[in-house]
Amino acid sequence: MPSLAAQRGDAPDARLRSGAEQLGLFHLPPGFAIQLVAAEPDLGKPLNLAFDAAGRLWVTTTAHYPWPARTDALGRPIGDFARDWEDNRLAFRGLVRPPEPETQARDQLRVLSDFDPVTGRARRTEVFADGLNIPVGVTPLPRPPGARGAAVVVHSIPGIWRLEDTDGDGRADRREPLYEGFGFKDTHGMASSFTPWPDGWIYATHGFANRSEIRDRSGRVTKLESGNTFRFRADGSRLEPWAHGQTNPFGLAFDARGDVYTADSHSKPVYLLLRGGFYEGINRQHDGLGFAPPITLDSHGSSAIAGITVYAASQFPEEYRGNVFNGNPVTRRVNRARLDWTGSTPKAVRQADFLTCDDPSFRPVQVVLGPDGALWIADFYNPIIGHYEVPLTHPARNRTHGRIWRVYWRGEDATVPPPALPDLAQAGAPALVAALRDPNLAVRSLAAGELAGRVVPEEARAALATPAAPLPPGAALPVALLRERLGATDEVPLLAALEAARAADDEAALASLRAMLLRGPPGPAAVEPFRTLLARVGPGHLWRAAADLFAQHPQPWQTPLLLSMLARAPEGDTLLVYGLRLALKEHVARASTEILAELAAARPEDAIRLADVAVAVATPAAAEFLLGHLERVGVGGLRAGEFARHAVRQLGPGKASAVEALIRKLEGAPLDQRLALAEGVSGAAGEQLGGWSSVVSGWLERTLLEALAAEDPAIARRAAQALKTLVLPAKNAPLQARALDSRTPAAVRQASLEAFDLDAAGQGVLARILTSRAGLPVRRAAAERLAKLPASDAAREALAGALPAASTDLAILIAGALAQSDEGAASLVALVAEGRAPAGLLRHARVAPALERRAPAVRARAAELTRELPSEDARLDAVIAARIGAHGETKRDAQRGAEVFVQHCAACHRRGDAGGSVGPSLDGLAARGLSRVVEDILDPGRNVDPLFRMASVTLRDGAERSGFNPRRDAEGVTLADAATGRDFRIASREIVRLEPSAQSAMPAGFENSLPDRDFHDLLAFLLGP
């Protein structure tokens, strides 16, 4: 098992060591050595690393992080600075006042060279550019003929820039924005991990929480919302998404086959990304196909992973080749995973940690494969690494130290000399073509870049055309991609490689398929070679590459092939199955209803596969196909409601006849089947039921009310949820009766009380429930609905009436609701003055901010009533300290704690492979330590991740709606529902006021709602392995 014993997380009291002293504190497998390449004062704090063809190392460094400066790379004021600064200012620890933003950016891009052949130390360090603003991603460009100095692409807030040295003095004197509009609400991701590939694109990652609207030089705008992976052209001409989702990807690498890997925080540390795939992450949604499959469920003991590389070279021993290496800055180590393949799907199997360090300030934020075959590590050297665990203004948070390390294989007898970095910058075309055969992928990539960007095209084409011995492993792909970039038009060699393939991972055929992606759709001559290839060669890498090609360049002849491949693809090759479904989705999106019906008629299982992907296609043809499919096979399947909802949403009332036909077929069918269709129609219709025919609307009303009355609580709950959005007066009385019935299961009561209208009768029902003996979840749900009506006298009176007898966590909710209006606040203060509610409520973080906005007399009375009380922070500090002290004295049961997690936490949080994704992942919490985890549970508003800050919206009708992660634009605001994590939208015309808050979406009150035993068992589970 991997070692997890070393200290984790922050170490504010740790002393800063010199690089020489730190060098002796590393632990590596036998036969490996580590060298100090560079350290302060020659470096600063490194973020990203990249090599150029001359063997020089480019390093982005920062002194600003995490607080951005006011200017861009040209020294100009950033236009939207105030908006992003306000978000950044509140992003981490709202109780600490941030520094004033610096007027001028002063971060740097440095170049390291002239490495000592024995010690590895960089004997030359130059500043290529300063005046940068938290620069992250960087990649040097090939130097074209006649250029006097270097050119580089680098991220610097708020965009991606091209910096060039035009006079050869080693300093950038020309700065051009390539892509503008990257958000910097949260600065620990932004645009990073720039990785050029022989296909002519630069691949990159987009960081956590930021909303970017990126403009290229043609004026095209690409929107990226948190997470995401993208690629762009070095000339600013085009930027496009590569994969959707994840939470905070930081680190990107290719393997020798051309697959893309990323590291991600708060989801999984290792991903193989398929183009167009949707990946899980905090508050992420997929396209209808479900999330793309992960290749590991191991969190590597941390929720913060930074940097990734695939070892594709020969300097390390065989057992390390093809392994994945991750930087793990929280646990101070470099993780290693072996890739075990099932067809085209790897499983990342965690191995013993590759590198650990006894210096608690070691923070490996990037790991890259060097062209010398060594691993190069950027060390953000800092006693404090957590973004939310310790105030960003803490004096121990270091701003000046940083190191670069190199790890190489010296042999167990220490006889292997340190490897040398190659210099390809002056090599001619023949030498560069020879370098394409190098066993090191980094060398092959650099050589490809030089051939495409520096060498005269005619010379490069001639060198590539020169006959040579058979290509060694790894060389076919860059050769094929370069030939395409240099203008190859003949399809015959590519098809010949397909015809010659006999294995599922044939390199030449795989290279040809990748090269075809750089062209338009395959011509008629390709049809037979593809049919023969896919019939002769079994499932694996070639199939997955063919699926990618069919998705990007869809042709009608490919669709039957995709259906046949899906029928033969093994379930264990999950990436292949997902890639085939992605490709089939593109084909369904282009097909007519008649074509889809014809394809489905061939085999019953093909109809099922087409329906499976049609839910991700927003076309009328796909919708009509789905309704026809339901009519043919019935609605008893697990996805029937999903199929119906998608179909009805796309067709609308204008196609009511198709829905009516399905309704007629369901006469006499079991209730659960009819309910599935009713759920679909309800979900699609929303509030607009009046636009549907009387046949559809009448059947929907009858079916849902019949299901609501069912004895089966699962059916009744589904019916209540389906009725929630419908404008249907007839629903109110049955829903209210269900909500009031004490014999009804709590889940059905809760769903019912959330679904009826909030007219006077509805408010009266909620008031009765609130003061009843119903269970706490039901009464809490009633209070939450009433809390959304601060302008209602009845709601206010009901809340005030329930407060004296409310439990602590319910009292906090009620008090916070009352404090939203002057009248409610007056009632709250009066209850406290009469001794019917505790004065401490007025100091609670969920109540006090709202009271500060109330009338002067109310504020003054609240201050008078709380004058003798300790501050709420002081009270909670005492509670937290007591719980921490008691934990060591308490007998704990982690297995029982897992049950507590499921009951109280799993609806929002994921740990391992269980739980939801509304809130952040709880993997790796041990890195935060006992004190911080106790603090997070008992005072969730103290350290608030920016994505989970609440905001309230006052509507024109006086109602209030709240949610987290507000994203506003000209048309309105999008928020995430605190209970489900699903986005909802409010139009600008309905909004009176939007008020962001520093409060967390996580409810308060666990100090009372969790019994001591549950609390300590939960901690044992969360802090365990």
Distance between start and end Cα atoms, the chain:
11
Cα–Cα dist 576/361, whole Å = 41
The single-letter code of the amino acid at 153 is: V
Q: What is the pLDDT of residues 329-339, one digit of tens each?
A: 989 999 999 99
In this prediction, residue 88 carries a pLDDT of 58
**19-409 and 879-1022 share one CATH topology?**
no
- Percent of the chain's residues with pLDDT above 70: 96
Q: What is the pLDDT of residues 600-618, one digit of tens each?
A: 999 999 999 999 999 999 9
In this prediction, residue 2 carries a pLDDT of 39
Q: Which two tokens stand for residue 243?
A: 């994969």
Cα–Cα dist 232/180, whole Å = 12
| Cα angle: 894, vertex 898, 901; to 5 degrees | 125
In this prediction, residue 92 carries a pLDDT of 46
Closest residue by Cα to residue 246 from 221, 214, 216, 210: 210
Q: Which two tokens stand for residue 212?
A: 């970017």
Categorize the per-residue pLDDT at 506 as very low, low, confident or very high, splitting at 50, 70 and 90. Answer: very high
Which residues does residue 195 pair with via DSSP β-bridges, in sequence order? Answer: 203
Contact predicate 800/815, CB 8 Å: no
Q: What is the pLDDT of residues 775-799, one digit of tens each?
A: 888 998 999 889 888 778 899 999 9
CATH class of 19-409: mainly beta
* Own/partner long-range contacts of 170-178 (Cβ < 8 Å, ≥24 apart): 170/111, 170/126, 170/128, 171/127, 171/128, 171/129, 172/109, 172/128, 172/129, 175/73, 175/74, 175/129, 176/236, 177/72, 177/73, 177/74, 177/236, 178/153, 178/216, 178/217, 178/232, 178/234, 178/235, 178/236
Cα–Cα dist 799/813, whole Å = 10
Residue 33 backbone dihedrals phi, psi, to 5 degrees: -130, 155
Which residues does residue 904 pair with via DSSP β-bridges, in sequence order? Answer: none
Is the per-residue pLDDT at 1 higher than 60? Answer: no
Is the per-residue pLDDT at 343 higher than 50? Answer: yes
Q: What is the pLDDT of residues 531-551, one digit of tens each?
A: 999 999 999 999 999 999 999
Is the per-residue pLDDT at 5 higher than 50? Answer: no
- Can you say how many angstroms the Cα of residue 117 is from the centroid of all Cα atoms in its chain? 41
Domain ranges across the chain = 19-409, 456-593, 879-1022
Tell me which residue has tokens 């393997």. 255
Element (H, E) at 968: strand 960-969
Tell me which residue has tokens 């982005």. 60
The DSSP secondary-structure symbol of 871 reads P
Q: Which of 83-92, 483-492, 820-829 has the lowest mean pLDDT?
A: 83-92
Contact predicate 137/191, CB 8 Å: yes
In this prediction, residue 95 carries a pLDDT of 46
Contact predicate 644/680, CB 8 Å: yes
Q: Which of 447-461, 873-887, 997-1011 has the lowest mean pLDDT?
A: 997-1011
Sign of the CA dihedral running 44, 45, 46, 47: negative
Cα–Cα dist 98/108, whole Å = 23
- Percent of the chain's residues with pLDDT above 90: 62
Q: Which residues contact 487 (CB under 8 A, 6 or more apart)?
A: 457, 461
Q: Which of 96-100, 357-361, 715-719, 860-864 has the lowest mean pLDDT?
A: 96-100
Contact predicate 198/478, CB 8 Å: yes
Is the per-residue pLDDT at 1004 higher than 80? Answer: no
Closest residue by Cα to residue 96 from 122, 125, 67, 116: 67
- Can you say how many angstroms the Cα of residue 502 is from the centroid of all Cα atoms in its chain? 38
Within 285-442, strands assigned E span 306-310, 324-328, 333-342, 345-350, 355-357, 364-369, 375-379, 403-409
The single-letter code of the amino acid at 99 is: P
Residue 742, judged by CB atoms within 10 A of its CB (0-12, 13-18, 19+), counts as exposed
Closest residue by Cα to residue 114 from 126, 105, 128: 126
The single-letter code of the amino acid at 206 is: H
In this prediction, residue 562 carries a pLDDT of 98
The DSSP secondary-structure symbol of 764 reads H
Contact predicate 1003/947, CB 8 Å: no
Higher per-residue confidence, 184 vs 981: 184
The torsion of the CA quartet 720, 722, 724, 730, rounded to 10 degrees, works out to -70
Contact predicate 273/242, CB 8 Å: yes
Look at residue 479 and give its three-state secondary structure: helix
Backbone dihedral region for residue 836 (phi beyond 0: left; psi -120 to 50: alpha; all else: beta): alpha
Contact predicate 167/147, CB 8 Å: no
Is the per-residue pLDDT at 3 higher than 60? Answer: no
Q: Which residues contact 604 (CB under 8 A, 6 or more apart)?
A: none
Cα–Cα dist 276/273, whole Å = 9
Look at residue 262 and give its three-state secondary structure: strand
Is the per-residue pLDDT at 998 higher than 80? Answer: no
Mean pLDDT of the chain: 90
The single-letter code of the amino acid at 380 is: F
Backbone dihedral region for residue 343 (phi beyond 0: left; psi -120 to 50: alpha; all else: beta): left
In this prediction, residue 649 carries a pLDDT of 81
Is the per-residue pLDDT at 997 higher than 80? Answer: no
Residue 345 backbone dihedrals phi, psi, to 5 degrees: -110, 120
What length does the chain have?
Answer: 1025
Contact predicate 115/421, CB 8 Å: yes
Categorize the per-residue pLDDT at 94 as very low, low, confident or very high, splitting at 50, 70 and 90. Answer: very low
Q: What is the pLDDT of residues 167-212, one digit of tens each?
A: 999 999 999 999 999 999 888 779 999 999 999 999 999 988 888 9
In this prediction, residue 725 carries a pLDDT of 86
Cα–Cα dist 472/250, whole Å = 32
Element (H, E) at 624: helix 620-633
User: For the residues 973-977, what does the mean pLDDT come to?
Assistant: 83
In this prediction, residue 40 carries a pLDDT of 96
Cα–Cα dist 931/900, whole Å = 19
Cis preceding linkage at 46, omega within 30: no
Q: Which two tokens stand for residue 580?
A: 């085939």
Q: Which residues contact 565 (CB under 8 A, 6 or more apart)?
A: 534, 539, 543, 546, 547, 580
* C-beta atoms surrounding 687 within 10 Å: 9
Cα–Cα dist 866/843, whole Å = 7
Cis preceding linkage at 41, omega within 30: yes
Q: Which two tokens stand for residue 713?
A: 């609580």
* Own/partner long-range contacts of 257-263 (Cβ < 8 Å, ≥24 apart): 257/477, 257/505, 257/510, 257/541, 258/197, 258/477, 258/510, 258/514, 260/203, 260/229, 261/308, 261/310, 261/324, 262/193, 262/205, 262/229, 262/308, 263/305, 263/306, 263/307, 263/308, 263/326, 263/327
Tell me, which fold does domain 879-1022 have in CATH? Answer: SH3 type barrels. (2.30.30)
Categorize the per-residue pLDDT at 388 as very low, low, confident or very high, splitting at 50, 70 and 90. Answer: low
In this prediction, residue 689 carries a pLDDT of 61
